[in-house]
Structure 1
Amino acid sequence: MQRVTNCILINNNHILLLKKPRRGWYAIPGGKMEQGESIKGSVIREFWEETDLRLKNPELASVFTFTVYNDIALVQEWMMFTFVCREFSGELTDYCNEGELEWIPFEEIGNIPMAEGDRKIFHHVLSSDELLYGSFVYTENYDLIEYHLDQ
């Protein structure tokens, strides 16, 4: 099972997101954990690699499992650790090889294209400080089949 970390960086009622070129969907900056790496160390490294920004005091906000199915066959499975952070240093890079980085106002988060599970993550993070656990099941085209959230 692949392990992934990402971070919702909040600044002046905006969230830094990454618009992925393949689907045109917005995603939370982050990526795959390296072998032996701590979860917090991974999110700091991955975020910096994509944005040139150094997170200060990121806090774990949610832990999820994701499964992707082709009909009944399991195609992919991963675990995602999402952090929230409000402090950072550095200057945002002008170029990210993963896509376009954009500061999105809170009020636009519900209207931009993204995976449906991500909408549920944002709703929780922007309305609660509780740690959220859950699971999401998607088709290969990333249509959300079902999900379970547990605080």
Structure 2
Amino acid sequence: MQRVTNCILIHNNRILLLKKPRRGWYAIPGGKMEQGESIKESVVREFWEETSLQLLNPEVTGVFTFTVHDQIDEFVHEWMMFTFVCHDFKGVLTEHCNEGILEWVETDKISELPMAEGDKKIFKHVLSKSGMLYGSFSYTREYDLLDERLDPYTS
């Protein structure tokens, strides 16, 4: 199972997002964990690689399982994602990111952006509640949401 980490950096009522070129969807900066790496080491490294910013005191806010299916019953692959939230950083944002375009977005505009449905649920939780969110999301290959289970439930 693949493991990934990402971080929602909130600063001055804005969130740093990555607009991916393939779909034009916004995503949370992060990426794949390396063998033997802790989830915190991974999120700090991945975030720095994409943004040139050093996260200060990121905290886990969600743990999720994602599955992708050809059809409802045909499993393709699965990964686990550890999502962090952070309010402090050091450094200067890079002008070029190989993964897409980095953009600071006002927190009240997040729900209007094109992104994966699961990410919308994660942002809703982070921006309106505290504590951990656990979940499982199932998608088609085209990333249409098939099913979700969240604890605590996020409508």
Work out whether the TM-score is over 0.5: yes
Q: Which residue of 2 aligns with 1:73?
A: 74
- Per-residue CA deviations over 1:61-105 (Å, capped at 9, x if unaligned) read 000000000012211100000000000000000000000000000
Residue 144 of structure 2 aligns with which residue?
A: 143
Partners of 2:29 and 2:77 in 1: CA distance: 20
Q: Which amino acid letter does the alignment assign opposite residue 27 of structure 1?
A: A
Detail structure 1 runs of 4+ shifted over 4 Å in the superposition.
none
Once the two structures are superposed, what CA deviation does each residue of 1:126-150 show, in whole Å capped at 9, x if it has no partner?
Answer: 1111111010000000000110001
CA distance in 2, matches of 1:10, 1:110: 15
SS of equivalent to 2:142: coil
Q: CA deviation at 1:121?
A: 0.1
**In 1, Cα distance between the equivalents of 2:77 and 2:149?**
18
Deviations 1:26-47 (A, max 9, x none): 0000000000000000000000
Which residue number in structure 1 is paired with residue 59 of structure 2?
59
Aligned to 2:6: 6
**Aligned partners of 2:26, 2:110: CA distance in 1, in Å?**
9
* Residues 86-101 of structure 1 aligned to structure 2 (within 5 Å): 86-101=87-102
Residue 30 of structure 1 is matched in structure 2 by 30
Structure-2-length-normalised TM-score: 0.96
Once the 2 structures are TM-superposed, how far is the Cα of residue 122 of structure 1 from its aligned partner?
0.1
How many aligned residue pairs are there? 151
The RMSD of aligned alpha carbons is 0.5
Separation in 1, partners of 2:106, 2:77: 32
3-state SS in 2 of match to 1:6: strand
Q: TM-score, structure 1 length as denominator? A: 0.99
CA–CA distance in structure 1, aligned partners of residues 38 and 131 of structure 2: 22
Alpha-carbon offset, residue 53 of structure 1: 0.0
Q: Secondary structure at the match of 1:129?
A: coil
Q: Please list every run of 5 or more consecutive structure 2 residues that lacks an aligned counterpart in the other structure.
A: none
Identity score, percent: 70
- Structure 1 residues without counterparts, runs of 5 or longer: none
